[in-house]
């Protein structure tokens, strides 16, 4: 999750989500020289692309899926399960499984200290 932490720190939550939604699980090349047009510039805007270019220029970014983090962000934003599954590129069943595991772990944690 190191790459996602670096991206989050660099870009902030909104742009990191955009990047993960578009390229999660894949590598994206960042050119050595600042081009006029680039797919990341179109996605992140000029300022977001400038940050990516400054930090990752001349290399590749392994954009993580970071589904659990994305689930939490989408839940916090009040999205419905069908929307969350679509944005996280997974099935609704996978999302419900995450929620079930999250609830079970939370319940077990609370139970252990009650």
Q: Which is more confident, 2 or 21?
A: 21
- Please compute the mean of the pLDDT values over residues 96-107 and round it to a whole number: 76
* End-to-end CA, the chain: 32
For residues 65 and 22, what is the distance between their CA atoms, to the nearest angstrom? 10
Indicate left, alpha or beta for 23 from its phi (over 0: left) and psi (-120 to 50: alpha): alpha
Q: Are 14 and 79 in contact (CB under 8 A)?
A: no
- Please compute the mean of the pLDDT values over residues 81-96 and round it to a whole number: 95
Average pLDDT of the residues of the chain: 88
For CA atoms 75, 107, 89, 17, give the dihedral sign: positive
- Please compute the mean of the pLDDT values over residues 47-66 and round it to a whole number: 94
pLDDT tens, position by position, 11-54: 999 999 999 999 999 999 999 998 889 999 999 999 999 999 99
pTM of this prediction exceeds 0.85: no
Confidence band of 67 (pLDDT split at 50, 70, 90):
very high
- Please compute the mean of the pLDDT values over residues 59-74 and round it to a whole number: 94
Predicted local distance difference test score (pLDDT) of residue 2: 64
Nearest to 29 by CA among 53, 47, 48: 53
For residues 52 and 72, what is the distance between their CA atoms, to the nearest angstrom? 24
């Amino acid at each position: 999750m190191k790459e996602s932490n670096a991206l989050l720190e660099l870009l902030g939550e909104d742009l990191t989500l955009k990047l993960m939604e578009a390229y999660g699980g894949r590598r994206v090349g960042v050119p050595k020289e600042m081009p006029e047009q680039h797919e990341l510039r179109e996605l992140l805007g000029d300022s977001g692309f400038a940050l990516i270019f400054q930090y990752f220029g001349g290399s590749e970014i392994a954009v993580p899926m970071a589904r659990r983090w994305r689930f939490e962000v989408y839940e916090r934003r009040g999205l419905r399960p069908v929307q969350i599954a679509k944005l996280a590129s997974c099935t609704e069943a996978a999302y419900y499984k995450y929620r079930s595991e999250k609830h079970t772990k939370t319940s077990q944690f609370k139970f252990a200290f009650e």
